[in-house]
């Protein structure tokens, strides 16, 4: 029961991180939002780690590096999905695959078993993931094979992040998360540096890469993103409505909240099965749409309300599995 509660809580916190990342991306370039949030989360984890302890086993450090790499791969594929679309189909597909991949790993490789109600709960959870991740108002465009493959790849990378974190030893504490965050920050800031260098060679100022390049999609360093607003184009009015300092604050907050979500996820994995945790964590879009409804007064579609109800039902079923 504890693992299910923690996993659902982590999903909501992940959604909050995505929401903050989406707000920051209204003014700042998405990859820069990811780099900044990786750094702020790293700072928080480093501050907390002396109080929680953790042994620096070489294998756990290696797992941490691999988790950070998978996070970047997931982000790259998500950004590529955005360019191809339609996100009304690819977004739920990404979330479902992010649940199925670690579920299969837990059942087939990890030897995890569930009761009949547990397997039924997994089915309900997958339906909930699709409905919660639905993007209202998106055009019904048939996805290309390339888009489908990238969405599946993004979901698999997010699932791989979960699988890798689950391999870490209990006495490692927050060490794997710290290493993962440092790896992610190094890679994403490296990408930002390359973009700035290219801009300079083309006669533009390096600072020109800071501002949003026309697409509003925030991203957390765990490979999740605010895809609910992915197809919105950030025009001049949207960018002017948010000051750069406020966008920086949102990016920093995104990293802090995402680090909290990662910590909750780690506790959930160490308290229960990967199968259950992955199914419930995939409901992270719920946190985004709930915050958007409260803060931005966005309407929650009827189908999303059904998804939220099924998510709670699935959580209850998996808690007693």
- Name the helix (H) or strand (E) containing 166: helix 145-166
pLDDT value of residue 232:
52
- Name the helix (H) or strand (E) containing 42: helix 30-52
Dist. CA 200–CA 204, nearest whole Å: 5
pLDDT value of residue 214:
63
- Please report which confidence band the pLDDT of residue 76 belongs to, taking 50, 70 and 90 as the band edges: confident
Average pLDDT over the chain, rounded to whole? 86
| Other CB atoms within 10 Å distance of the CB of residue 199 | 15
Dist. CA 273–CA 157, nearest whole Å: 19
pLDDT value at 234 more than 60: no
What percent of the chain shows pLDDT beyond 90? Answer: 43
Residue showing tokens 């920051």: 24
Half-sphere exposure of 263 (CA within 13 A, CB side): 18
The pair of three-digit structure tokens given for residue 203, joined into one six-digit string: 């006669």
pLDDT value at 235 more than 60: no
CB–CB of 275/112 below 8 Å? yes
- Name the helix (H) or strand (E) containing 260: helix 244-271
43-57, 69-83, 124-138: which has the minimum mean pLDDT?
124-138
pTM equals: 0.89
- Please report which confidence band the pLDDT of residue 175 belongs to, taking 50, 70 and 90 as the band edges: very high
pLDDT value at 31 more than 80: yes
Dist. CA 244–CA 96, nearest whole Å: 35
Total residues found in the chain within this entry: 321
pLDDT value of residue 250:
92
């Amino acid at each position: 029961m504890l693992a299910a509660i923690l996993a659902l809580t982590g999903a909501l916190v992940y959604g909050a991180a995505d929401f903050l990342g989406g707000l920051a991306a209204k003014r700042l370039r998405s990859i820069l939002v990811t780099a900044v949030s990786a750094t702020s989360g790293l700072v928080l984890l480093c501050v907390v780690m002396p109080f929680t302890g953790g042994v620096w086993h070489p294998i756990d450090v290696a797992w941490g590096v691999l988790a950070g790499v998978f996070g970047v791969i997931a982000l790259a594929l998500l950004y590529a999905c955005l360019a191809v679309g339609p996100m009304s189909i690819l977004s739920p597909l990404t979330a479902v695959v992010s649940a199925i991949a670690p579920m299969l790993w837990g059942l087939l490789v990890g030897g995890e078993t569930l009761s009949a109600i547990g397997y039924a709960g997994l089915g309900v959870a997958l339906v909930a993931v699709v409905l919660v991740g639905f993007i209202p108002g998106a055009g019904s465009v048939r996805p290309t094979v390339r888009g489908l493959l990238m969405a599946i790849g993004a979901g698999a990378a997010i699932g791989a992040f979960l699988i890798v974190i689950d391999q870490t030893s209990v006495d490692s504490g927050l060490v794997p998360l710290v290493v993962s965050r440092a790896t992610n920050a190094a890679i994403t800031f490296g990408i930002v540096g390359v973009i700035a260098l290219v801009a300079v060679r083309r006669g533009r100022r390096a600072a020109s890469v800071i501002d949003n390049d026309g697409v509003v999609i925030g991203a957390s360093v765990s490979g999740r993103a605010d895809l609910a607003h992915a197809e919105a184009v950030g025009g001049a009015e949207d960018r002017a409505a948010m000051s750069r300092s406020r966008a920086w604050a949102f990016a920093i907050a995104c990293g802090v909240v995402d680090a909290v979500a990662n910590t909750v996820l780690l506790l959930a994995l160490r308290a229960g099965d990967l199968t259950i945790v992955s199914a419930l964590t995939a409901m992270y879009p719920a946190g985004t749409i709930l915050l958007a409804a409260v803060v931005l007064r966005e309407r929650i579609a009827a189908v999303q309300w059904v998804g939220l109800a099924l998510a709670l039902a699935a959580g209850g079923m998996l808690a007693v599995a």
